[in-house]
Amino acid sequence: MDYRKLGQDITELVGKKENIARLTHCATRLRFELHDISKAETEKLKALPGVITVVNNGGQYQVVVGNEVQQVYRAITQQMGSGTRSADSGSDTGKNNGPKQKQSWISRFISVISTTFTPVIPAIIGAGMIKAILAVLVLTGLVTTESQNYYILNTIADAAFYFMPILLAYGASIKFETSPILAMTVAGVLLHPGWSALMAEGKDVFFIGVPVRLTDYAGSVLPIIIVVWLMSYIERFADRVSPSMIKFFTKPMIVLLITAPLALVAIGPFGTYLNDLVAMGAEAINARASWLIPLLMGTLQPFLIVTGTAWAMTPIATSQLTKNGYEMINGPGMLASNIAQGGATLAVALKTKNKKLKQLAASSGFTAVLGITEPSLYGVTLKLKKPLIAAMIGGGVAGIYAGLTGLVRYAFVSPGLAALPAFIGSNPMNIVHAIVTCLIAFIVTFALTWIIGFEDPVDDDEEGNTNVNDDKALSGQPIQDVPSQNELRPLTIASPMQGELVHLDRVPDDVFSLGLLGKGAAIIPAKGELYAPIAGEVTAFMDSKHAVKLNGYNGEEVLIHIGVDTVNLKGRHFDSSIKVGDRVQQGDLLISFDIDAIKTEGYEVITPIIIANSDRFPDIKLEKQSSVEVGATIIHLS
């Protein structure tokens, strides 16, 4: 392949080098940030020999070229000069000094909320579940609201919400590329007991002659996000004006001396005003048409998840929970939508004759009714389309009931059967309405899915094995189960990690799930260690340490990609000493990684194992899905 020519063509079709604000790459794709995305000629790019597909996602214009990504990247950067650096090169700080890609204000707002809230989710979900358990304990009489046990458990549950500004300061500092510690310190100023004492006195407060509005920032959302955004500029100013010899002392001093007073005097009150204004608007809508918001959320939640806009309502819901002890913005509609997704998917599981779809739909449908819908949405309903329409209708109908009955959620959890205790509160009928909402969503959606049906991707042979070459096979179903008797003696690929072996279509990234990079399998890791699945040579290894490619001695080429979009971590939570050119034996430790830390930053850890040169192997089969240990055979190659 002529990489120089391919690089020239790609550069031309993304709008020439003048349209490229920044170019990075991961294991398989070029990641462009473009000044004007409308100048990119997507269809022509997809048609280029050497380009697998094009994905426009998360503010990045991604051109997937597969294993040759480093060669194509070098060809493009040579044409552009030295101003473009790879995020995997280790030389990039992660800050984009070039012009930013044009985005709508809605896209920018959702990006800010998503990045800010993602690290906080474990804390507020954990606190929410404790609230739910506490509600059950009170309802059953095991604990009284006057007891010390209740007081201590309630304090634990309230902590995440009371100190919400400090938690959000961390996420906002990541988004705005500023110091997390200084951001959290400023948030601490807003919550300091001394500030609470001033509020308790009720006297007028002035700072250098300027009146200060006494505001309770406990549990607030928007004020700290705005404060950290401003602090990112103040920190850059402090960095420029501080003499290098004493910068260690002067820079944080300047940041705190400017940011904290501004937060107390101006930004905090303004953010609180915006926060209250949005909440009042939502409550006004709910007072005049209580069915409207749950209807919209119940109907459109799948669309919001796919487009990433589901985060937009999170600040309002969080604010309501903190202020009122309940919320009606997210929870009721999401409960209806999640149960509807489960109903549609379980209907597919019962109706389909495709063995693999039946297994996938049964497992993902069960998790959906418990409150986790992504496997159901991406693995089943979105692909089959008609069940998705049924789920949106069923979710909308149940949402209307939830709104008319005044259903509220008392704790921040992912709504589903597992989280029904979060709907137990001061109104004893609330939990009853939640159960009825679930029944409506499930029954309506299940019936609609059964009646309108779907195009069943089934073509089973007499032995019950799916023919993967049939054009009716599941989209992204890369390989079939091993027959009971193999006529061929295959090469084998061993499991590189301990975990659960699944089909590629479980990977929430079309580049992998549709088999665009080759056939293979995926593993949901149970332990953060990646071992060599074959004996061979390391032919590609990202500096971000999340992906490695091995060429085996028998001609097999294996690409392993830990997680989805984990290139964005830039090596955080990964550790390895291997390098390109190393020879390895099967079972050698290649990479160690921290599963919990990766998940905390909002990334999936499901790991695709791709046969990069699948065209050389006419018969590729996967062992049956199950738990696997390191070294167990997972793929057979003829």
Could you tell me the two tokens for 385?
């389309």
Across 178-317, the runs of DSSP E, i.e. the strands, are 205-207, 210-212
| 560 strand-pairing partners | 548, 609
Catalytic residue among 433, 561, 573, 636: 561
Q: Is 609 helix (H, G, I), strand (E, B) or coil?
A: strand
Reported as type and span, the H/E element at residue 364 is: helix 355-370
123 within 8 A of 160, measured Cβ to Cβ: yes
Angle at alpha carbon of residue 316, lines to 273 and 307, rounded to 5°? 125
Angle at alpha carbon of residue 125, lines to 122 and 128, rounded to 5°? 150
Nearest-10 crossing angle of helices 148-162, 121-139: 150
Residue 600: closest CA among 109, 50, 124, 122: 122
| Cα 444 to Cα 465: distance, rounded to the nearest angstrom | 33
Q: Which amino acid is at 5?
A: K
Could you tell me the two tokens for 579?
């390098």
Give, as one character, the DSSP assignment of residue 527.
Answer: S
Catalytic residue among 26, 433, 438, 503: 26
| Cα 217 to Cα 229: distance, rounded to the nearest angstrom | 17
| Cα 579 to Cα 582: distance, rounded to the nearest angstrom | 6
Could you tell me the two tokens for 340?
């509807």
| Catalytic (active site) residue 636 | no
Residue 370: closest CA among 306, 414, 311, 433: 414
| Catalytic (active site) residue 438 | no
One DSSP character per residue, 15-76 reads T-GGGEEEEEE-SSEEEEEES-GGG--HHHHHHSTT--EEEEETTEEEEE-GGGHHHHHHHH
Catalytic residues: 26, 561
